[in-house]
Structure 1
Amino acid sequence: MKQWLTRLFGGAATAAPAQTTPSHSIPGPAFHPGAAPAPDAAAAGDSAPAFDSAAAPHVDLAFYRWLTDPVRGDADARAEAGILAELARLARDPAAAGALVPRVPAVVPQLLKSLRDDSVSSGELARQIARDAVLVAEVIREANSPYFRSGRPITTIDGAVMVLGENGLRILLARVAFRPVINMQGGRAADRIVRLVAPRLWLHADACALAASLLAPELGADPFEAYLTGLVLNVGLLVAFRLIEQLGHPVVPQSDAFCATLLEGARDLSAGIAAHWELPPFAAAAIVRAGRPASSLTARPLAEALGRADLLAKLRLLLDAGIFGAGDAPLPALLAGPAGRHFERLGVQQG
C-alpha cells in the first residue's frame, strides 16, 4: 500500500501549497441561517460554500445517523467511553489501524507505474488493462459515464484510454483501487456493522472525491491530489466501525456527544493512516484541517477543498435520502453560484 500510494502521487512528496487568504425516520437537523463567508473563503471564489459553525455540526450529526441507520442502537456511558478510549489508542498506532482495511488490487500499482513512463504507449496501457476482466469493465463503464461526457458510446479499451487520458486513468485507478478498501468487498461475514455501513460510506467517499477534484482548481489545489485525498478522508470511520464490532458491540451508539467525539477521532485516524500509507505529508495535514473553522488553521488550498467537498457530499447524500429538503436553510446559500453546479454533478455521479 505504501509504495503504491507513493507511485500514485508521482514519487516524493512535494512542498505544501502556498497559503491562501434513504431513511426518513432520521430527524432533520435544526439549521440556523448561515453566517457570512470567512475572509479566506470569500477570497477563494464564489463557488466555495462558507463553513457555518452553527450548521456544520448539525450536518455531521445528520450524516452520522443516516450512515449508521442500519446498525444504530443505544449504549451506556461506560460502553461509549470504552469505544472512544480504544479509538484514541488506535490513533496512536496507525499501523494497527491500517491493518483493519483491505489492500488494493495488485494490478493497479503496475498500471500506475506505466502511466508515469512516457515511453509507454496508450496501446500498451490498453493491453495491461485487458489482463484484468474486472478492470476492463470498470474502464469502459467509466469512459461512458457523465463525468467524462465523451459524447459517443465507448465499447473498446483503446477507445476508453483515449477518452480518459492520463489524469482520467489515474482518477479511475484510484477509484477502482479504493472501492474495495472502503466498500469492504469480500469482508468477513462476522463484520455485520461494517458490511451494512460500508456501502453508504463509499457513496460519501466517491462523492467527496469528485467534489474535491472539482473545487481544487478554484482554490489553487491539484485536482488529482484532492480526488485521492478525498477518497481517504473518512477511512478512519471504517476503522472505527470495525473496532466497535471487534469490541463486541452489536450496534453503533447514537448519543450526540459520542457521535461528535467519534467523528473527530476518526478524522485523526484517517490522517494517521494516510501518513502510514506514505501519502505526501500535506495530505495528512489537509485531512486534519479539513472543515475546521478558518480562524483555527492556516488556510491551505487542499484543506479548503476537502472541507468543502466533505460538506457538499454529505448534503448531497442527505438530500437524496429525503432527510433534507432543497429549500432547507442553509442549502440555498451554500449552493449559490458554481457550488450549485458541483452539487448537481454529484447527483449525476450518484445516479
Structure 2
Amino acid sequence: MKILVTGTAGFIGSHLAIKLLERGDEVVGLDNINDYYDQNVKYGRLQRGGIIDSLELGEDIPYGKLLTSKKNNNYKFIKLNLEDKEKVTKLFEDEKFDAVCNLAAQAGVRYSLTNPDSYIQSNIVGFLNLLEASRHNNVKNFSYASSSSVYGLNEELPFSTNHNVDHPISLYAASKKSNELMAHTYSHLYGISTTGLRFFTVYGPWGRPDMALFLFTKAALENRKIDVFNNGEMLRDFTYIDDIVEGVIRVIDNPAKSNETWDKKEASISSAPYKVYNIGNNNPVKLMDFIEAIENKLGKTIEKNMMPIQAGDVPATFADVNDLVQDLGYKPATPIQEGIDNFVDWYLEFFGYDKKGNKING
C-alpha cells in the first residue's frame, strides 16, 4: 500500500514508518517538526529513516517540499502543518494514497492548560483537513491516534471502549474525543472506514522528552530529584512502543466495517464503517514500581519530590483490550522491565553516556 503517516518525526510515527517500509509498503511521512520538545530528538528520528544525513541538517528541511529518503526510495517526507489546507489537499491529489494513519497532534495534557489554541489548530482543524482530503480523493482507509485521556472522570476500571467518555478533564482529551466524533460523521456520510486508537501511556526508545520515563532517566543521570505526582499513587497502563506499532499495523490492514446489526449501546462500533480500540498493556503498573524499574536498570536510587496530583491528570488508567484480541488476534505483552531496559540503553547511546551512566567526553 501507499500510506500517508502523519507525525513521522514523532515517537510512534517514526517507528511505524520504519516497520511499514520493512514489509514493503510505500510511506509518505508528514510532520511540522515543531518545538514542543527537543527538536534534536525529532531530527534524530528523521535521520534514522534516512530523510536527513545529520542532526545539523535538520533545521534546513524546507517547508512544503517532498523529500525522498537516502536509505529507501519508498520513503518520502514533507514538512507541513496539518492546518495548511491548500498544501494538504495538493499532497493528496498528487500522491493518491491507499490509506492514511494520522499520528500527528499537539500532544500533552499539562501543556493544553496553558496553550489551548495549538490543540484546536492541529488536533481539530488539521484533523478536519485530513478527513476532507480523504473524502475528495477516495481514501477509504483512515486510522488515527486517539488517547486513553478521553476516559476523563470515568472511574470504572478497566476502561472499556463502550464506557461513557463525555467528561474529559483536559482540552487535549476533548480534542481527541472530538476526533472520534468527526471520524464517525465522515464514516456515516461518506463511507470512509475510520478506526480510532486509544493509546495508553506509550514508552520505549526514541520516546518523547516530556514523558515520565524520559524525564526520570534524565534527572537520575544528572543526579537531580524527580517530581512524583499524586504522591506516587498513580497507576498507568504503560505500553511498549513495539506493541503499539504492531496494533496500528493490524488496524491499517483491517479497515473498520459497517455493523448492520449494531446495538446502539455499543459505543465503539456503528452501522457506519467505524471502530475504536484500546491499545494498552492490560496490566497497570504503580508509578513507584515504574520508577524502581528505572533504578534497577541504572543501578542507583533516584531522589523523589512527592507532589499532589496535577490538573488534567487522572489517577489510574487500565485498558480493556478484549475487542483488540477478538477482532485482530492481538494483545500487547512486553514486560515493563524489558521495555525500560531498552529505553535506557537507547538514551545512554543517543545522549552520549557509557553503559555505567557516565557522560562520555565530559
What is the TM-score when the length of structure 1 is the normalising length?
A: 0.22
Higher relative contact order (CA 8 A, sep 6+): 1
Which structure is higher in strand share? 2
Which structure is higher in helix share? 1
